[in-house]
Chains A and B, each alone.
Chain A
């Protein structure tokens, strides 16, 4: 029995539709339509090869400039904004930093939770079967799809291509927390439920690395840790300000080795217990994080991930599965998910925003933090 009331956010305009709308992605997939495609490559780019040399050798111009993906994402997003596809202008939402030690960021966003509905699925079970009757991302309006994201021999951008056979999509979130708020849905038409495996996480890391911007972060919420929809997805947005968790003190918990550059550390003196994985090798991070998360899923421990620093830093926050929450906290309707635990709190009511304090946020986040013995179990999983 979970005490925190979930208030699901509306990420797609089609979320309330009972029937399949003609304009939805699924229908378009069946009839066939064209979408832009961004291809990333795991091979080294020729531009980097030249830049790494000691002399600047003349090179042929690159097919796409560095961090083109960021420009593409922002331009498509801005286009959708000018077409009125978002439920409100997120840049008109006020934000401020709460004074104190952590520098929590509070935002007043009255438009985000307009509808209050019962939760669509059990929230005390981390792994649940995909249910095609419930809302999933094939039901989004085709306008909410920004582009396809796929791997290729060479990086490139194609304005109009037919949909790939097993496409990964980038969609808008119609109730954005920040500018550029998108959803990354790996292999959408495989209809995978919200659960993590190394390949899907690696896709998210490549996505973050390709955008190549320290202000762009990617988050993941498991079921039971305030995921909105049981269809595999990550969220991402831009915030040109440090997340409090990125500035927190950490202490290393894994042994160093000359072979691997992976550092795993635990957060010190932060309201929520968590670990952070750091490495320049994305493969390494993906494999290590996914293996831990799969253990957590099997033990029914909900968790959140926050991917920062262009993919080289991943925070993992395991959550209390069952807990009591004070009514005061319930009334603010803040769900402590990846962003909130990272330190970015969206508040629905003006009075909550105006009176928000670091103490309030610390207390809210502490509600979901694991107990010491439970967290020790998690550390044992990681370090074995």
Chain B
């Protein structure tokens, strides 16, 4: 947020993309390819609804797909919205309570249908019937995407057509600006069953399309075994993911309760540092970063710290996917969840060139700050499915 003379400028008219998403085009297309066939964009294009797909595993939960209808409704171009969080639709008079409800639904990984005041690029407000639905992976139970369908609500009954509502329908040209927002009758006007059903139908159609195009299996519901409490190893709840993706540094979370302590989460910066994709690292032990000239002594130190549940900082030679070596100042620490017991081991990487004192100081601050942010994230109470209790490390 920007500060100017004590006032926080609202960035609602301007689309502000997280600076961490500078390769957003690549990241966004990877998000789709990871779960669906390459033809998914064409398949989704066939639907005339206004909708977006968002990825909770990327920084700031960005849009990775936007339909033509959505762009027409809001007045933005595709490039302006891809890689950005949906909050640019909100504005000065958007009810905070509605935003909170959407946030809660995302955290709890469930559907939500709500009327919310949104704004076009030109700044015109419109009431929007918004329907959110999670898309679950059949493999590991994670939410791979959220679908958001928008139905602009018109005050003019005569203007309603039987088909989809495409394009923007301005809802209250004739109403006074101020009068509108605080007048309770305006908030309650005309949300018919028909509108709600139309939103449901749109969501269902999109979800069906995603399921059909999926290479690894996605669904609007979790697998039966998951609902019965059988949680796949390496599952990460959306609420944890949202907190972890806020952390703008290179790190991994590994699970010491699983055989060979695999990576269960890797930050975007880790992937960029090492050159690997998410699929190439999740489920593997970190040793793939070692190479021919990696000294074994610090590895031994690492191993013994882990077995004692201690923190440790080492300097180790690692290799990127393209075999390029780099010096890695690695800090590891056990991290506890809301049960108070150790759930993960965090590994935080800082690529160091020389060891100047200032570099060391800065690296140290980044590592500890990142570790603190990880502890805050993991400590939060995970909503959604019940997680299995962690065992303490002996």
Contacts and interface: CB of A to CB of B under 8 A. Distances in A.
Interface of A: 41-45, 48-49, 51-54, 65-66, 70-79, 82, 91-97, 105, 159, 178-180, 202, 206, 209, 212-213, 215, 238-242, 246-247, 249-250, 252, 256-258, 261, 278, 280-284, 310-313
Interface string B163-194: 00000000000000110011000000000000
Given A41-B3, A54-B14, A82-B311, A256 B181 contact: yes
A77 B372 contact: yes
Contacts of B361: 159
B3 A72 contact: no
Nearest to A56: B17
A247 B6 CA distance: 26
Central interface residue in B11, B16, B104, B381, by most chain A CB within 10 Å: B381
Central interface residue in B104, B246, B340, by most chain A CB within 10 Å: B340
A313 B107 CA distance: 21
Given A93-B340, A247-B100, A282-B8, A75 B369 contact: yes
B1 A52 contact: no
Contact of B380 (A53, A239, A252, A284): A239
B103 A242 contact: yes
Contacts, number: 156
Given A72-B365, A282-B8, 14 more contacts: A43-B4, A54-B14, A71-B370, A75-B364, A75-B365, A82-B311, A206-B3, A238-B376, A239-B380, A240-B377, A241-B381, A242-B104, A283-B6, A312-B8
A52 B14 contact: yes
A238 B376 CA distance: 7
B282 interface: no
Query: Top 4 nearest A-B pairs by Cβ distance?
Result: A74-B372, A48-B2, A240-B380, A71-B369
A67 B373 CA distance: 12
Nearest to B364: A75
A79 to B, nearest CB: 6
A11 B371 CA distance: 24
B352 interface: no
Contacts of A105: 381
B340 A91 contact: yes
B178 to A, nearest CB: 5
Contacts of A65: 248
Central interface residue in A66, A74, A92, by most chain B CB within 10 Å: A74
B321 interface: no
B11 A52 contact: yes
Contacts of B181: 256
B6 A202 contact: yes
B258 interface: no
Nearest to A82: B311
Contacts of A258: 177-178
11 contacts: A43-B5, A48-B3, A74-B370, A74-B371, A76-B368, A91-B379, A95-B338, A178-B379, A179-B379, A257-B178, A283-B5
A45 B3 contact: yes
Nearest to B311: A82
A45 B5 CA distance: 11
Contacts of A76: 368
Contact of B97 (A66, A215, A249): A249
Contacts of A48: 1-3, 9
Nearest to B96: A278
Contacts of B377: 240
B153 to A, nearest CB: 21
Nearest to B358: A159
Interface in B345-381: 361, 364-373, 375-377, 379-381
A241 B379 CA distance: 9
A89 to B, nearest CB: 8
B336 interface: yes
A240 B372 contact: no
B380 A241 contact: yes
A212 B6 contact: no
Nearest to A65: B248
Contacts of B2: 44-45, 48-49, 52
Nearest to A36: B365
Contact of A44 (B3, B243, B368, B375): B3
B10 interface: yes
B129 to A, nearest CB: 20
Contact of A91 (B96, B364, B375): B375
A345 B198 CA distance: 43
Contacts of A52: 2, 9, 11, 14, 16
A180 to B, nearest CB: 6
Interface string B1-28: 1111111111100101001000000000
B175 to A, nearest CB: 14
Nearest to B362: A159
B340 A280 contact: no
A261 B92 contact: yes
B339 interface: yes
A247 B335 CA distance: 28
B368 A78 contact: yes
A75 B381 contact: no
A280 B96 CA distance: 13
Given A94-B338, A179-B379, A209-B8, A51 B16 contact: yes
A96 to B, nearest CB: 7
Contacts of B178: 256-258
Nearest to B368: A75
A281 B9 CA distance: 8
Contacts of B9: 44, 48, 52, 280
A44 B380 CA distance: 33
B14 A70 contact: no
A280 B6 CA distance: 9
Contacts of A256: 178, 181-182
Contact of B381 (A54, A66, A96, A313): A96
Interface string B280-309: 000000000000000000000000000000
B123 to A, nearest CB: 14
B344 to A, nearest CB: 12
A41 B379 CA distance: 32
B6 A92 contact: no
Nearest to B7: A281
